[in-house]
Amino acid sequence: MKKNDKKRKTKYTISTVFFLIITIIDMVDLYNDIFNGRGHTIKDLVWLVILILVTLGNYYLMKDIGTIDDDDERDDYVQMKTDSTSYHILEWIIIIASVAFSAWGVILYSKNGNEQLAFVLIIIGAVLSSIWILTIIINFIIWLVNYYKN
């Protein structure tokens, strides 16, 4: 690995760790807002999503520095199958989390005094359901493009 690549990798590693720590702190703050009934939940949820995206972006940039792009078709095939499997696992995780948050919100709504927390949980479940539907639409569009391409 070149000296310049080592510096860049170190920079992205430090940045990834920093944003990971900030993401964990914001997640703890979000949980405190939800369970203590403070009104900053939506703002913290938006910041949490942004911080997760920045952390993942820095991680993938760090991971790709210094790698050699092989033209081996077998490696490309294994990478494609791994990505496909990861995508399907992510779809299942999203739908299970959506159902869990929605059910938790409905259960809390049936009890008195938990309306605000219940609404937040139901909204999180609805957002996750929307993301799941979006992944299905994207999967269908990719299938159509590949079908007409072949």
Residue 41, pLDDT above cutoff 80: no
Predicted local distance difference test score (pLDDT) of residue 32: 79
pTM of the model: 0.49
Q: Tally the domains of the chain.
A: 2
If asked whether residues 76 and 47 sit together in one domain, one would say no
Domain end (from 52, 68, 84): 68
If asked whether residues 85 and 42 sit together in one domain, one would say no
Better-scored residue on pLDDT, 148 or 38: 148
Q: What is the pLDDT of residues 5-31, one digit of tens each?
A: 788 888 888 888 898 899 888 888 877
If asked whether residues 54 and 89 sit together in one domain, one would say no
If asked whether residues 148 and 110 sit together in one domain, one would say yes
Domain end (from 68, 92, 115): 68
Domain end (from 68, 93, 125): 68
Identify the band that residue 96 occupies on the pLDDT scale cut at 50, 70 and 90.
very high
| Residues 6+ positions from 39 with CB-CB distance below 8 Å | 33
> What is the residue range of 83's domain?
71-150
Helix, strand, coil shares of the chain, percent, nearest 5, are 85, 0, 15
Q: What is the pLDDT of residues 83-95, one digit of tens each?
A: 788 888 888 899 9
Residue 70, pLDDT above cutoff 60: no
Cα–Cα dist 148/150, whole Å: 5
